[in-house]
Chains A and B, each alone.
Chain A
């Protein structure tokens, strides 16, 4: 008799929960879709994660502890950095950015480790490695940093910070003025451009072969914006372009060349260019 009642109750409970499930599932799916679209929920690729970390970590990520796992990986990367284990640093930052794709600072820090720290380490840390091999390894790390930032830009296309970081790497590490100018321009058009970014766009466009006229027009536009923009480098770069483009004397800017002024004042000084 009691068994019959228990069975009846169990079936009834399962049926109730099933009906509730049928009613709530469409509502829940709509809510989840809206939350994903508005960026409130991040869908993490578990297949990408499970190959790199253990099942329990994947479970923690799915269980709402994604930021805690990212903190652990950040600490782990910090530790690896102090021992110059660059492969571990790279792996950790790839995982961190998989977990927190919207965290601009993580993309920036990961790229900085690869393009600056690991590349310098490849060049100088091991004296036994032949110079040519060291240079090749160093360049590989720079390219890894660039590829990493490009993935970050794919996820956050409007980020001025990431475009500016990429432009800085092209400028400082690869000496590619055209690519640097391209990304400074994208940084200008992004969400939070710094005030110096337009000037940098002009400076490196001026270094890009065949685009001097465009650079001159742009820098002159900045020059006409007022005293605030008339910094020594801007004046110096305009003067260079005036010479290169053979601008008539009547159209040239009246300011003295800052480099010449400095050299007059300090004959042994080297002109500082960005």
Chain B
């Protein structure tokens, strides 16, 4: 056999490795998800269930609508805290853990592009947050539905016994309570929480690509998260005080530009309170979150691509 024929046979037997493979990303996503599940992440759900049960049994002498709103606010508050805290902690831990377990060397020694590795890790964290949020939403909806039914029955009975109210008045009162009960719109609030967690995870991944330790990543990501909620407010004050000075130009303005603005994702609070939200507004929010995740992942790849381990 000639040399050319040998080369041709070799080329035919060794499969060509695609430059970008969604399949490989999916494998990495699932392995990250398994890794996070093994870290007993979902134990948080037990605490959440206890919290929702406690909030739904809080019988303060307030209106039925207030009782339902309190349950919703407590549950969505807990979901929000869980999602951003988890996004920071889980993402900060993943790369150092892979280094410690030497899994990173095994993966990168294979024909896996570093972009796919980073995306696999990010999607794994997002999948875990997504699954946890869905489970929490199902749990919460069950409690809210039960509470709504109980509260409506009690209110109807009380209004009928009280007398002096027309059936239309009773219906109007019950509608006000129903407005604070189970609504499809609450799913939008869940999506907003997920998007915010996604951006937080992408920021944390970016920090972890240059950080020297897990602790450093967690602290920096938490600071960025907190500052991202009020830096525009604070900057407004500073810019008013400093005017068009050099400090304003060199320090304040660049900081506003670099740190993400998380306030825009705080729509959850009012959606839960009953403010109607349009699909257009939600799509804009999804677009913004995807843009953040794409840019931060690209910058993270730029730092990670030639990092030596």
Contact = CB atoms under 8 A, between A and B. Distances in A.
Interface of A: 9, 12-14, 16-18, 20-22, 24-25, 27-28, 31-32, 34-35, 38-42, 46, 59, 62-68, 70-71, 74-75, 78, 100, 102-103, 105-106, 108-109, 192, 194-196, 228
Interface of B: 60-63, 65-66, 69-70, 73-74, 76-77, 80-81, 164-166, 168-169, 172, 176, 196, 225-226, 229-230, 233, 254, 256-258, 261-273, 275, 277-278, 281, 284-285, 288, 291-292, 295, 299, 302-303
A63 B166 contact: no
The 7 A-B pairs of least Cβ separation, nearest first, read A21-B257, A67-B73, A68-B77, A40-B267, A62-B229, A64-B266, A195-B166
A21 B261 CA distance: 10
A41 B270 contact: yes
B159 to A, nearest CB: 11
Contacts of A196: 164-166, 169
A27 B287 CA distance: 11
Contacts of A21: 254, 256-258
Contact of A64 (B164, B196, B273): B196
A68 B73 contact: yes
Given A9-B303, A28-B288, A105 B264 contact: no
Nearest to B308: A2
A17 B229 contact: no
Contacts of A70: 73
Nearest to B271: A40
A65 B303 contact: no
Contacts of B74: 68, 71
A16 B302 contact: yes
Contacts of A22: 257
B95 to A, nearest CB: 17
Contacts of A106: 66
Most interface-central of A41, A100, A108 (chain B CB within 10 A): A41
A84 to B, nearest CB: 14
